[in-house]
Structure 1
Amino acid sequence: MPHLLNLRALPLLICASVLTVGCSKPAPVAPPPQAMPVKVAPVSLTDVPSRDTYVATIKSRRTSTMQPQVDGNITRILVKSGDAVRAGQLLMQIDPLKQTAAVQSQQGTQAQKQAVYQYNQTEVERQRKLFEAGVTSRDAYDQAIQAFQNSKGDYEANAALTTTQQQQLAYYQIRAPFAGVIGDIPVHLGDYVSPTTVLTTVDENADLEAYIYLPTERASLVRPGLPIDILDASGEVLAHSSISFLSPQVDNGLQSILAKAEIPRTAQRLRNLQLVNARVTWNTASQPVVPVLAVVRVGGQPFVYVAVPSAHGGYSAHQVAVTVGETFGNNYPVLSGLKQGDKVILSSIQFLQEGAPVQPLS
C-alpha cells in the first residue's frame, strides 16, 4: 500500500520539477563602472632653474664696536639695546671729574705763563726804548729779548697742552659715529671701564651684504651676477639680489669660496649677523613639469596618475612612478617617468586606483 502511494505521487513531483526549471531566469550581468570625470593637463616643457640653497650670514658694511679711550666709571647710560640713534648722539657718559681738574690746573698754569709772557713782551719794548736812548746796554736789551722769546715759547706750549687736555674731555662722552641701531649693552651704571671694555655696538642696517660660502665643486659655475634669493626659515623670499663679489681665494678650513650679495635697502626685516638661507640659481633648462597637487606619495615614492586609452574604449587611470626635483612655483620638475604630452590627472586623485575608468576634462 505504501508503494502504491509513492507511485501516485511521482507524476506530481515530476510536474513540479518541470515547472521549477521552466520558471528560472539567468542572473543579470552587472553594468560596467561609470567613468569618473577628472581634470587633466598635458605635460609641457618649461624653463626650470637649477638651484641650490646655502646658509648665509647678513653683515653690515658699517658696524662699530664702541670702546672708551679713557678710564673711569660710567655715570650715565642714555640708550638701550635696539634704539635707533643718529650720528653724534650721546650714548654714555664716563665720570670726567679727574680730567676736569686736570684741565683747570692746566688753565691756571697757562694763566701764569701768559702773565710772564705779557710782562716780558712789555719789558722788551721798554728795554728797546732805553737802549735807543743810550740808557741801557745792548746786552740788557738782548737779555730782555731772550726772556721774551723763552716765555713766548713756554706759553704757547702750555696753551697747546691746555687745548689737548680740553679735547680729552670729549673722550668721556661716548657718541654714535653714524646713524644706526644700538646692539647689546653689557655694562651697567657705575661700572669701571677702560679702553679694553666693550660698551656696545652700533650697526647700520641700510648697507647690508649676504656672506655666502659656496662649495669648490661649484667653482666652474660661480660668477658675478648669479641671481640670489634671500629666504627665511619658512622659505619666504625676503630679498632678491645677485653675486657682487667673489673671493679669488678658497677658504682652506671650509674648502669653499666666499661670495657676497648686496641686500637692497628695502629689505627692512634683515639685521646684522642674522642667519638666513641663500638660494643660488645656477642656470635654467627646459624640463617637463607637473603641478604639485598632481603628485601623491606612497612610502615616500612620488607617483602621478595618467589618463591612458583603455582597451574597451575611453580612458583609464594609470599610476606612474616619477622622479621630481625641487618645487618651482606650484610645479615639480619631472626628472624621469613622464614625457611631453602625457595627460596627468589633476582632480579626484584620492578616489582613483589603477585601471579605474576616467573621463578626461580639459
Structure 2
Amino acid sequence: MLSIGRPTLVTAVALMAFAGGCGTDKASSDRSPANQPPATPVKIEIARSTTIDDTSEYVATLKSRHSAVINPEVGGQVIQIYVHSGERVTAGTPLMQIDALKQQATLHSQEYAREAALANLRYAKQQRERVAKLYAEGVVSKQSLDEAQTALEAVEAQVKALEAQVREQQVQLHYYGVLAPTSGVVGDIPVRVGDRVTQSTLLTTVDQPGDLEAYIKVPVERARQLRLKRLVQILDDTGKVAAEGPIDFISAEVDDQTQSVLIKSRVNNPRGLLRTSQFVHARITWSSREGRLIPVLAVSRINGQFFAFVAEGEGKSLVARQRQIRVGQMIGNDYVVLDGIKAGDRIIVSGAQNLVDGAPVVPQK
C-alpha cells in the first residue's frame, strides 16, 4: 500500500489553493467593464406634452347662404339662353327667353279691345253732353239724361276692366323673359334651347360668392355633445384647414333613415376656394386635454399590449427600460399616450429592434 507523507500532502493542498485562486481571478476578469456587451446606439427623443383634441370628421355638403334657385313663372319652350355656367351676372340680367308668341297675341287682342272701348267711351261722353244740353232746353226728359249717364258709366267701367287686363297680360309677358333676381355666379344650366319647361322646371341657380353653409349629419350617439357656437373646421384634400365657422343650427329631429342629426355651420370663404354643392370633410372638436405624444416608431405591440423603451440613468451610463403603455388616437406620426409615459421621459425612437430590458444604450450623435 502506497503511503503519502506530510510534505507531499501540504504540497497538494497548496497547488489546489493556487488553482482555485486562478479560477476566481478569471471569473472576476470576465465581469469587468471591459468584457460587458457594448452599448447599443439609439436615437432618443424627449416625450413632450401638448394639447390633445378629441375630434371627429364627417362628410359635409356646402351650400350657398345666398343662392337663388331659378324656376320659370310660366311654361313654354326655351328659345334662347343668354348666359353660360360660371358667368358673373348682375341683378336684372336676362338669362333666358321662353317663347312668348302666344302671350303677345293675347296681349294684342286685349289692347285692341281696350282701343274699341275707348272709342265707345268718347262716343258715350259726347252723347251724354248732347242729352244734357237738350235736357237743359227742355227738349228731352230727365229719364233720357239718366240713361245717357248710365251708358257713360258702363263704358267707363268697361274701359277700366280692359286696362286692368292689358296690364295683367303685360306682366305675364314679362315672365317669359327670365332675369337674374340678384347678382352672383350662374350655376349649372340643365335645360337647352328647344326644351319645353314648366313652372317646376329648374332652369339654373345664381349664387353670391362669399359665405357658405356646411350641412353636416352627426351620428345620434354624438348628438348630446352638440352645442351652438362649437367650432367646425373644413378640411381641404391635404387635410389642412381651409375654412372654419361655428355651429349655428342643430336640428331637433333625428333622421330615421341614417340615425343622424343635421347641423349647419356658417363658413367663411374669403379666397373662394370652396364651392356650392361641394363635398368636404368637416372636423368637429368635442374637447381638449393635456397629453403626451411619442412617435409611432417607438411603440411595439406584443400580444395586444403596447410597449416602449425609455432610456434611464445619468451621463453615459444609460440603460433601456421597457415600459407597458396605454395609447389613444394617432395624430400624424405620433401616438397619444394615455398612461405609462410622463413628460420629460427619454424615449428610444430608433435602434430598439434588438433591445432587451436593461441593455446598455448610448445616444446617437
- Place the TM-score, normalised by the shorter chain, in its bin: 0.7 to 0.9
Distance change (3 Å), C-alpha of 1:288 and 1:296:
closer
**Separation (CA, whole Å) in 2 of partners of 1:102 and 1:249:** 50
Q: Which of the residues 282, 285, 288 maps onto 1:284?
A: 288
CA-to-aligned-CA distance 1:174-233 (integer Å, 9 cap, x gap): 112222332322222222223233322333343421122222222332211222111134
Mind listing any 5+ residue stretches in structure 1 that lack a counterpart?
A: 1-25
Task: Rate the CA distance shift 1:294–1:212 in 2: closer, same or farther, 3 A.
Answer: same
User: CA–CA distance in 2 between the matches of 1:304 and 1:173?
Assistant: 73
Could you tell me which of 79, 84, 88 is aligned with 2:83?
Answer: 79
Is the alpha carbon distance of 1:306 and 1:115 closer, same or farther for their aligned partners in structure 2, counting shifts above 3 Å?
same
- Say whether residues 1:36 and 2:37 are aligned partners: no
Distance of aligned partners of 1:359 and 1:233 in 2 relative to their CA distance in 1, 3 Å threshold: same
Report the alpha carbon displacement of residue 160 of structure 1 after superposing the two structures with TM. 0.8
TM-score by length of 1: 0.79
Q: 1 CA distance for matches of 2:331 and 2:42?
A: 28
Counterpart in 2 of 1:10? Answer: none
The yes-or-no answer on 1:309 pairing with 2:310 is no
Match runs of 1:246-325 below 5 Å: 246-266=250-270, 268-290=272-294, 292=295, 295=298, 304-309=308-313, 314-318=317-321, 322-325=325-328
Q: Which amino acid aligns with 1:33?
A: P
- Deviates further, 153-162 or 85-94: 85-94
Q: Which amino acid aligns with 2:336?
A: P
SS of 2:342's partner is coil
Partner of 2:156: 152
The farther-off stretch of 294-303 and 158-167 is 294-303
AA of the residue aligned to 1:181: V
Instruction: Quote the offset at 1:152 in angstroms.
Output: 0.3
In structure 1, the residue matched to 2:193 is: 189
Could you tell me whether the CA contact under 8 Å between 2:64 and 2:211 is conserved in 1? yes
CA offset at residue 351 of structure 1?
7.8
- Provide the residue aligned with 2:106 in structure 1: 102
SS of equivalent residue, structure 2 residue 107: helix
**Matched length:** 331
Q: How far did 1:255 drift?
A: 2.1
SS at match of 1:54: strand
The equivalent residue for 1:15 is: none
Residue from 233, 237, 240 that aligns with 1:236: 240
Q: Are positions 1:50 and 2:50 aligned together?
A: no
Q: Which runs of 5+ in 2 are unaligned?
A: 1-25
CA offset digits 1:268-320 (Å, max 9, x no partner)? 22222222121111111222223x4764667998765422239x961134565
Structure 2 vs 1, CA of residues 295 and 185 (structure 1 numbering), >3 Å: closer, same or farther? Answer: farther
How many angstroms apart in 2 are the aligned matches of 1:253 and 1:146?
Answer: 69
Using a 3 Å threshold, how does the CA distance of structure 1 residues 56 and 295 change in structure 2: closer, same or farther? Answer: farther
Q: Out of 124, 134, 155, which is 2:138 matched to?
A: 134
**2: distance between equivalents of 1:265 and 1:286?**
32
| CA distance in structure 2 between the partners assigned to 1:180 and 1:305 by the alignment | 60
Aligned to 2:355: 354
Match of 1:219 in 2: 223
User: Closer, same or farther in 2 for the Cα pair 1:319/1:276, shift >3 Å?
Assistant: farther
CA distance in 2, matches of 1:302, 1:335: 11
Secondary structure class of the residue paired with 1:251: coil
Q: Counterpart of 1:225 in 2: which secondary structure?
A: coil
Give how far 1:35 is off: 6.0
Equivalent residues of 1:317, 1:352 under 8 A apart: no
Answering whether residue 74 of structure 2 is matched by residue 70 of structure 1, we say yes
CA contact (8 A) 1:238 1:267 kept: no
Task: Tell whether the 8 Å contact from 1:294 to 1:345 is kept in structure 2 after alignment.
Answer: no
Q: TM-score, normalised by structure 2?
A: 0.79
Change in 2 beyond 3 A, CA 1:220/1:186: closer
- Which has the larger displacement, 143-152 or 74-83? 74-83
